[in-house]
């Protein structure tokens, strides 16, 4: 197989820059996060190498795999151990092109609490069309047999069971673990991680100030989400 | 109509600088906030363009409209989608000259909780003469027909029903959404956003430490507010 | 009266630098804090001018008064409006030489909650020999007649009634207002403000994690306090 | 006794750099933390001097003692007052080579609350194989007779009673005081302090969002811990 070098070089650069954003935006400590991008026509995924310091890695070190997660370059570092989760998401969610996983403080807190993130306000509704779901807990068997792959599977199961669109809700909380977000580009997927963490903070504090608060009504959710997304959007310069 | 170019240039500069303060003071993430200024004699409002990055915009790109929010410059970016709210506030609150809207974390939290912000201490009283009100929730019809305009209307309704002075309480929490603040200048309106967010934090934590605490007595509210405002003020160098 | 220029110049420099520490240590926003120093032999107090930005002021602008708070320099800015509180503290607490007042977030929160700060751990005990007291609320009459002076009086009253030593507990929370701290030098008094704010945070969170926690036993309080203070101290290089 | 100068110089440099990380990672304020390293073959411990500012100290000033904590260099500063705790840990836990003590906000909060830190998620499990224990409170007699040494003893007692491995749980919370962590190198021990503080934050917030949450199941704890540690580890590049 001959790789399209220029396109892959550009993917590596985007994935590299998006990974660097994670510590810059204070979404990760140490090496606790990874970003990937897929190009389904090329049959290629590019992802951060496992356990490598953000400050020390180079764009060239980003790991290139096929759509099953098999290494495509001879002198490759090992990919992020979460790669099998990314592979499942890319296979089952054809509308997404980039995936981010972090252990950002406030998103992890909700994932550990095992609760869906309620849509308490317009900040949430601007990006997430409804509650951000929390998956069920993985079973003993799922963890032992193929942990990272089954993490992807339980995310997909959650979206299917609840009839959610990955485009409309570009984030999930994995029970007891943490957030995954996605988007059309690595930059956009990172932005969704940032927003998720912020609305996780806001939701927690909202409940502290008013333990009996409800989610916003559907018409306000509709207004804010569709003000920014879809054919009728009028936010921004386009 | 011939615009007074020098005055508008100065307005643009002030509005630009005040918008830049929002990320610098950590009151906004991404593009989540906007500042405007009005000059009623000139018949002009200047406001941030919609969805443009603070770091990438220029003073010249600030959008100039008339007092109804209609664009006045040929080559203009689209104004902030919240412009109709600003227009209503300028029309109904003749004492204010600048408006700020943000999604700052702690103010949003109170707005999402749907509660007035209680005046729990002198930090609050130095700027806000009494509780900062939270509006009622907009109705389905209000959101669908003219969301941004009706956001302005419900703020005005709140101040009229409670007989509040926009000068004495230069801030409001919009239910399920977030804060608006105002002032005599863009800089002062941003300062009020900063103070609002800080007293929102303090109030939340105060309730955590003492769930049965009351607001400060009227005489202490009077003392601190009038120490800084009005004819008898003696804080500062003037 | 002839002022000892060299000594006052040095006081101004120390007071100036200590005031600059307040925003650097994130203990104040805007102009919400002031530091002063007294020299009782010279009969002089030096304090921050009122409402002046930390970033714009100069050492020379620090305000010089006598021990009753009367201005001693011809071309003087107005002193901090809290000066009368400082004057009372210097008069009634002969063992202190510098005073700091801030509206730091976590200390204000406890002051607004109207509770003494419990000595929950050794971080507290290293600096404060027992709970940090919260004053009673000032009466209507006290506020109207001489607010700032009576703020000083209620602090003194609190320490006398509880038989506390200003040296052993170099801080107080004024009900509904905020913290005052003191020390042998402006730098040390600022350090005590920093420590107070930190232990206020820790105490609040401690109660969240364990609602039934008690203060540390007297023998541990003794051990940590006297490890750092008094004749038997063995912490540090002296 | 002739010291191996080159090896000790290298130890001093590592201990110095690890101490500097403490304020850089916001794990300490003022001088509230210390790092040490042991070389049992050389019979040497190197530790931060007591009460010296991180910014002002030099690598050469790190204090060199024998395995009982006795000074080995003529012109030595006084060692950290917590040295006797480090000495006990090195004697009783042969698998560790570096120790860190801090008063980091969130770890202290759990120590003050007197509770074990529950393993609520995979962020915790990646580093700590099970709950991080909180010691019992020291008795009056233990504090008075040999406070710092008995702090070490109660840590050792806690690990023995619960049959915990210092390698698998490289951290402890000392009741009413704060955290100690350790590791194979000073850098690794500091990293464990950072992680402990982060999971302390996450755990507190998790309980706020869901008061009835349980720790993660053993099979998920196993998966994450052994994904990063031991013979079957597959995280990172080794």
C238 vs C197 pLDDT, higher one: C197
Test mutation, D47, D176, D202, chain C, max C CBs within 10 A: D176
What per-residue confidence (pLDDT) applies to A3? 61
Alpha-carbon gap, residue D221 to D224, rounded angstroms: 6
Alpha-carbon gap, residue B90 to B79, rounded angstroms: 16
Tokens of B67: 């007092």
Percent of chain B with pLDDT over 70: 99
Asked if residues A128 and A197 have their Cβ atoms less than 8 Å apart, the reply is no
| Domain spans of chain D, in order of start | 5-228
Query: Which of A191, A231, A238, A218 shows the shortest CA–CA distance to A125?
Result: A218
Query: Which of D170, D176, D156 shows the shortest CA–CA distance to D108?
Result: D176
* Beta-strand runs (E) in B80-190: 98-102, 171-174, 178-183
pLDDT band at residue A238 using 50, 70 and 90 as cut-offs: confident
Decide if B126 is catalytic.
yes
Distance from CA of A89 to the nearest CA of D (A): 20
The secondary structure of residue B105, as a DSSP letter, is: H
Alpha-carbon gap, residue A178 to D220, rounded angstroms: 13
Distance from CA of C141 to the nearest CA of B (A): 9
What per-residue confidence (pLDDT) applies to D238? 75
Q: Is the pLDDT of residue D1 over 80?
A: no
Torsion of CA D108, D110, D111, D112, to 10 degrees: 80
Percent of chain B with pLDDT over 90: 95
| Contact assignment for D51 to C206 by CB distance below 8 Å | no
Asked if residues B182 and B192 have their Cβ atoms less than 8 Å apart, the reply is yes
Question: A108: nearest CA in chain D?
Answer: D202
| Contact assignment for A29 to D195 by CB distance below 8 Å | yes
Test mutation, A104, A117, A193, A206, chain B, max B CBs within 10 A: A206
Percent of chain A with pLDDT over 70: 99
Closest CB to C210 among D32, D113, D140: D113
- Say whether A8 sits in a helix, a strand or coil: helix
pLDDT band at residue B117 using 50, 70 and 90 as cut-offs: very high
Distance from CA of D78 to the nearest CA of C (A): 6
| Contact assignment for A191 to B30 by CB distance below 8 Å | yes
| Contact assignment for D210 to A113 by CB distance below 8 Å | yes
Cβ of A26: how many Cβ atoms within 10 Å? 11
User: What superfamily in CATH does domain B5-228 come from?
Assistant: Class II aldolase/adducin N-terminal domain (3.40.225.10)
Alpha-carbon gap, residue A81 to A91, rounded angstroms: 18
Marked catalytic residue, from B60, B68, B222, B235: B235
Closest CB to C177 among B122, B194, B217: B122
* Burial profile A105-118: b = 16 or more Cβ within 10 angstroms, e = fewer: bbbbbbbbbbbbbb
Question: B203: nearest CA in chain C?
Answer: C109
Q: What is the mean pLDDT of residues A157-179?
A: 98
What per-residue confidence (pLDDT) applies to A2? 56
Alpha-carbon gap, residue D206 to D145, rounded angstroms: 39
Our measurement of the distance from residue A33's CA atom to the centroid of its chain's CA atoms, rounded to an integer in Å, reads: 10
How many Å is the maximal CA-CA distance in chain D?
A: 59
Asked if residues D197 and D108 have their Cβ atoms less than 8 Å apart, the reply is no
Cβ of B55: how many Cβ atoms within 10 Å? 7
Count A/D contacts: CB-CB distance under 8 Å.
80
Marked catalytic residue, from C54, C66, C126, C147: C126
- Say whether B188 sits in a helix, a strand or coil: helix
Q: Is the pLDDT of residue C1 over 70?
A: no
Alpha-carbon gap, residue B115 to B129, rounded angstroms: 17
Marked catalytic residue, from C60, C68, C222, C235: C235
Sheet strands side by side (includes A63-65):
A63-65, A44-47, A33-39, A98-102, A178-183, A171-174
Contacts C177 to B, Cβ<8 Å: 121-122
Decide if C126 is catalytic.
yes
Q: What is the mean pLDDT of residues A36-43?
A: 97
What per-residue confidence (pLDDT) applies to B238? 75
Contacts D137 to C, Cβ<8 Å: 217, 220
Asked if residues C220 and D138 have their Cβ atoms less than 8 Å apart, the reply is yes
Test mutation, D21, D27, D123, D208, chain A, max A CBs within 10 A: D123
Q: What is the mean pLDDT of residues B73-86?
A: 96
The secondary structure of residue C130, as a DSSP letter, is: S
Asked if residues C230 and C132 have their Cβ atoms less than 8 Å apart, the reply is no
Distance from CA of A79 to the nearest CA of D (A): 8
Q: Is the pLDDT of residue C93 over 60?
A: yes
The HSE-up count of residue B209 (CA atoms within 13 Å, CB side) is: 27
Complex confidence, ipTM? 0.95
What per-residue confidence (pLDDT) applies to C238? 75
Contacts D50 to C, Cβ<8 Å: 235-237
Percent of chain C with pLDDT over 70: 99
Asked if residues B98 and B35 have their Cβ atoms less than 8 Å apart, the reply is yes
Cβ of D11: how many Cβ atoms within 10 Å? 24
Sheet strands side by side (includes D63-65):
D63-65, D44-47, D33-39, D98-102, D178-183, D171-174
Alpha-carbon gap, residue B185 to B233, rounded angstroms: 20
């Amino acid at each position: 197989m001959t790789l399209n070098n220029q396109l892959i070089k550009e993917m590596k650069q985007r994935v590299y820059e998006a990974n660097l954003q994670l510590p810059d935006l204070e979404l990760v400590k140490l090496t606790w996060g990874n970003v990937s991008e897929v190009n389904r026509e090329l049959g290629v995924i590019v992802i951060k190498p496992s356990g490598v310091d953000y400050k020390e890695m180079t764009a060239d070190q980003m790991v290139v795999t096929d759509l099953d997660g098999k290494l495509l370059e001879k002198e490759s570092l090992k990919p992020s151990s979460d790669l099998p989760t990314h592979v499942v998401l890319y296979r089952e969610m054809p509308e997404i092109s980039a995936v981010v996983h972090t252990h950002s403080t406030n998103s992890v807190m909700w994932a550990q609490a095992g609760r869906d993130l309620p849509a308490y306000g317009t900040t949430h509704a601007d990006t997430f069309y409804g509650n951000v779901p929390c998956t069920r807990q993985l079973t003993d068997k799922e963890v032992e047999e193929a942990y990272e792959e089954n993490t992807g599977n339980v995310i997909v199961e959650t979206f299917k069971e609840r009839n959610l669109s990955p485009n409309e809700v570009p984030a999930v909380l994995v029970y007891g673990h943490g957030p995954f977000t996605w988007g059309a580009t690595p930059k956009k997927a990172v932005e969704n991680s940032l927003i998720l963490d912020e609305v996780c903070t806001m939701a927690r504090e909202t409940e502290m100030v008013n333990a009996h608060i409800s989610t916003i009504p559907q018409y306000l959710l509709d207004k804010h989400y569709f003000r920014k997304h879809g054919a009728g959007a009028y936010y921004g310069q386009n």
